[in-house]
Amino acid sequence: MIRLLLILWLLIGVAFAGTSFYAEILVSHAMRIMRETQIEAKGKPTEVVTPAMKAAFAEAMIASEEARTLAPELRYLRTWPAQLAMVDPTMPDEQAIDALQKELDKDPYNYHILLLLCLRMVHAQDVAGAQAIYARIVKQWGTENYPASTIRKLTTGIAE
Amino acid sequence: MATLLSFLFTIAYVPGWAGAALTPRWAMLAVAVPLIILRRKVLPHVQSTLRTHDARPTRGVFWLSVAFLAWATLSMLWTPSPWDGLFSLEQWALWFGVGYIGYKLDDARPVYTGCALGMGVVSILIILEINGHDLIRQSEFQHRAGLFFNPNIVTETGVLVLVACLAYGMWTLGLVTALPAIVLTHSRGGLVALASGGLYCAFKRSLWWGTAAAGLIFLLALGLWWFNHTETVDNFRGGMLINPASWQDRLNIWRHTLHLLTWTGNGVGSFRVMFPSEMAGYSDYAHSDYLQLAQDFGFPGVALIGTLLFLAMNRPYRPETLVVIAFLIEAVFQFPTWMPVSGMLGALAIGRLFR
C-alpha cells in the first residue's frame, strides 16, 4: 500500500516536473521576445516603438497567458497589459497615462508600472509628474538600477 | 552518488529561462525524492548511504507530519487558487519526504559536500561577474546572483552550506566554496543567521567564548556599517547591507500579510493570490516564512509545524542543530522554505535531528 502511494507520488512528481518544464519553454519564448523588444526600445521615446514591436508583444502575451495557466508561479507576467499600453504607439499619452495610473493604483509597488508611467510622462513632457514618479521609484527601489538612472537623465533633461 | 546528486541539484540551472533557477531544481526534487524513498527497487546505489535497518520516525513526529499534510490537503477546499495549492502541496510533501530521507541517512556529509561544491561554482561565477565576466546575466535588477535568481538566496543558501560544513568539521571545503558567495552578496538575513549560529556555538562552549564571539560580531557589524556608510550605493548593486528601501518593502509586505491572517488560513499556496488581490501590492512571498505559513494554514498549521520544530530543537545536540538554527533565523526575513536548495537543506537537517 505504501509502495503504491509512493509510486503515485512519483508519477505526480513527474507530471509536476513535466508541466513546469513545458510552461518554462513557453514563458522563455515570451520573455525572449519581450527582452529583445525592450532592448530595442530601451531609453527611447515611445514613437520609436514600432507596430512590429507591438505585434511581438502581442505574441509574447499569448505565450505568457498559456504559460500562466500551466505554472502559477509565473504570475509576474500579469503586468504585461500595462506594458502593452506603454508601447502602443497609437495610444495617446493621456490615455496611456490614465491606464497605467489605474494599474498603479491596483499595484502601487510594481516597479515596471512605475517605470512605464514615468517614461510615458517624460514623453508627454509632464516634468513634475515624471519627477514625482521617479521619486517613488527611488524611495521604493533605490537608485542603483539602470532604468532608474535612465529616467533620472530623461527627467533632468526635460527640466533643463 | 549522494554527493553527485546534491551537487547537480545545487547547480541545476537553465540559462535563458525565466524560471532558470527554480524550475529545474523543483523538477529534480519532485522526481528524486520519491525515487530515493523507493530506493530498494529503483536506486540500489543510493541505498548504500541510507540506513539498512528499519528506522521509523517516532510515532508523535510521524502523526504530526501526517496531520500537517492532511490539514494542507483539506485546505485545498478553500484555497482561492487550486492550481497554486496543488503546486504548494507537492512542495510540502517534498519537504516531509526530504525530512524522512534525512532521518534515515546514516551520513549526511556527502550531501553537504555536494552542495558545497555547487556553492563553489556559484562563488566562481560571482567573482567572474565582479571582474567583468558576467556569464549568467539574469536581468537588469539582479547582480551577483550566480546560479540563484537573487543575491539574497545565494547568501541564505551559502550560509546553510557553510554552517553544515563547519558543524561537521569540513572547514576548508565550507570556507573556500561558500564564504566568497556569502561575503560578496552582502545579504543581511544570511549574515544575521551566520552570526547567530556562531554565537550559539560559542556560548555552548563557554561563557567566555560566547562573550568574545559577541564582541567580535559587534565589531564586525560596526565595520560593515562603516564600510557601507562610506561607499556609494552603486557599489552594492548585488545586495545592499543597509538599504532603507529594501527594509521598507519588507515592512510593507509584512504589514499587509498580517491583515490577511485568519484562524484557519486562506489555504495551501494561497499567498500569491491573496496578497495582490487583497492589498494591491505585489510579492510572491511574505519574506517571512512564519507569516506565510500562518497566512496559508492558519492556527492549526502553525501549531503543527511549531510543535514539530519545538520537538526537533529539543532533541540532543547534533551538527544539524546549527543548520536548523540558521534556517529558522533566515526564515524570519527571507523565504528559505520556498526555495529548493535552502528548503532541502532545512528539511534534511530537521529530519536528522529526530534520529
A-chain CB neighbours of B37 within 8 Å are 6
pLDDT in tens, A48-71: 445 555 566 566 666 666 666 665
ipTM for the complex shown: 0.75
pTM (predicted TM-score): 0.75
What is the least distance, in Å, from the CA of A137 to any CA of chain B?
Answer: 10
DSSP secondary-structure letter at A107? Answer: -
Dist. CA B92–CA B76, nearest whole Å: 13
* Contacting residues for B222 by C-beta, under 8 A, at least 6 apart: none
Chain A residue closest in CA terms to B40 = A3
pLDDT in tens, B167-177: 888 888 888 89
pLDDT score at B2 = 83
Dist. CA B67–CA B46, nearest whole Å: 29
Q: Which of A60-74, B29-43, B218-232 has the lowest mean pLDDT?
A: A60-74
Is the Cβ pair B26, A17 closer than 8 Å?
yes
Q: What number is the average pLDDT over the span B257-279?
A: 79
A-chain CB neighbours of B269 within 8 Å are 72
What is the least distance, in Å, from the CA of A113 to any CA of chain B?
Answer: 12
pLDDT in tens, A113-137: 777 787 777 777 787 888 888 788 7
Split at pLDDT 50, 70, 90, the class of A99 is confident
Q: Is the pLDDT of residue B95 over 90?
A: yes
DSSP secondary-structure letter at A47? Answer: G
Decide which of A153 and B216 is more confident.
B216
Minimum-distance CB partner of A6 among B27, B28, B34 = B34
Q: Is the pLDDT of residue B234 over 90?
A: no
- Of B154, B153, B52, B58, which Cα lies nearest the Cα of B107? B52
Amino acid at B61: V
Minimum-distance CB partner of A110 among B81, B282, B284 = B282
Q: What number is the average pLDDT over the span A98-127?
A: 76
pLDDT score at B85 = 87
B-chain CB neighbours of A109 within 8 Å are 249, 252, 281-283
Q: Which of B282, B284, B285, B338 is the best mutation test for A, with the most CBs of A within 10 A?
A: B282
Decide which of B333 and A24 is more confident.
B333
Q: Is the pLDDT of residue B52 over 50?
A: no
What is the least distance, in Å, from the CA of B253 to any CA of chain A?
Answer: 10
Tell me how many degrees the CA angle A108-A112-A118 measures, rounded to the nearest 5: 80
